[in-house]
Amino acid sequence: MEEMNMPLLGDMFPEIEVKTTQGPMKLPQDMKGSWFILFSHPADFTPVCTTEFAGFQKLMPEFDKIGVKLIGMSIDQITSHIKWIEWIKENLDIDITFPVIAANDALAMKLGMLHPGKGTNTVRAVFIVDPAGKLRLTLYYPQEIGRNMQEILRAVTALQISDREGVAMPANWPSNDLIGEKVIIPPPGTVKGAEEFKKKYEGYDWWFSYKSL
């Protein structure tokens, strides 16, 4: 069996050539300069996966607003993907506008996405990749648990702000129990810096300073 490899945070996303419902793609090359989210689902024509596709599509305007592209994937044939997308349109009145990859076992193994003990079904993986092609966040859910799309949107939004502003985000941002929607300023590395932080920023201490965006 081919070795299963899970890309690590900060690694370049593995180069792959794939077939999708919108034509062939090369990743991450075809997405260079743009954030993208690759998410896998165990199988077409399954209830939980259908709710997830509906959830992702509903948030497409929000992802578009921040320049993030979505790509679905499972180990199903293109014809199955197309038929399922048709079914979703006809029965749920939801038009799936993002491409869906027809993967194979080798590709799933390359990304560490096969579910242990569950045959060839892929886990519910989420890979958030930045414009440079680096993997920035990974989420893995078992087959039994559907994902929270609002959390995925929150996470990629937080990553973009963190990169742009050089800050860190508190738990449950933008609704943190301690500092609300404010963001955390990385602490200084010198005694002089610590003294300056006490005067310059609000916070609980120099190592826990924060500000509004």
Is 49 a known active-site residue?
Answer: yes
Which amino acid, 163?
Answer: D
Q: Look up tokens 């963001």; give the residue.
A: 183
2 neighbors 109 (Cβ within 8 angstroms): yes
User: Where does the chain show beta strands of DSSP type E?
Assistant: 16-20, 23-27, 35-40, 68-74, 100-102, 124-129, 135-141, 183-185, 202-205, 208-211
In the set 27, 49, 100, 111, the catalytic residue is: 49
- Cα–Cα distance for residue pair 189/207, rounded to 1 Å: 10
- Cα–Cα distance for residue pair 16/111, rounded to 1 Å: 10
197 neighbors 190 (Cβ within 8 angstroms): no
Residue 160: which of 57, 73, 70, 63 has the closest Cα? 63
Active site positions, annotated: 49
